[in-house]
Structure 1
Amino acid sequence: MTWLLAVLAVLLLGGVAVVAAGRGGPLAPAGDDDPAPDVPASGPLTADDLRRVRFPLALRGYRMADVDALLDRLAAEREGGPGAG
């Protein structure tokens, strides 16, 4: 019984090594780290720029509602409207 468990452990470790070496199939393409395309590359940001920003979805990212609330607050502050101050 001990030998059987040892053989299974070696096979499992071998399988993990094959996958880790990249031989288990192609890796997913690398993500794009460019800034959001809705943001102007240069110049000051306006309130409308902030309202148009949409972040790409990620497996472990930020909650969309939190990001949207912060962008709305920043846009209001840029306009000098409610929530500014």
Structure 2
Amino acid sequence: MLEAVVVVLTVAVVGGLLFLGGSVLLGRGETQPPADPDRSPLELPEDRPVSADDVRGVRMAVTVRGYRMTEVDWLLEQLAQALEERDAEVAALRARLEETGRTAPGPDDAPAGGNGARNGA
């Protein structure tokens, strides 16, 4: 009976020492501080609109648990702003077209001088 108690205590002490050693060596989580939400190592052009190739070229830092959330949040916010700016510009251009009495061409509309001239003859 005494031998079983000694074995259990030995296993508990060795396990505790291994856990303590691992905790000291590996630390508690990420070794880098969290990224500043107002500044990101990701780069998008500031002097022109963001293009699809710009977005495809973005490479985010991979950490032990995946991508850094602050970088992903920053990128999504930048893309949302770019979309809002483009939507506002498209709406303004459509409003200007309506003011001049023209309507915006739809995707199925034929270009001027297209097939309509051929069918009438």
Question: TM-score per shorter chain, which class?
Answer: 0.3 to 0.5
When you count helix as a share of all residues, which structure comes out higher?
A: 2
Specify the structure having the higher radius of gyration (Cα): 2
Larger RCO (CA within 8 A; separation ≥ 6): 1
For normalisation by structure 2, the TM-score amounts to 0.37
For normalisation by structure 1, the TM-score amounts to 0.46
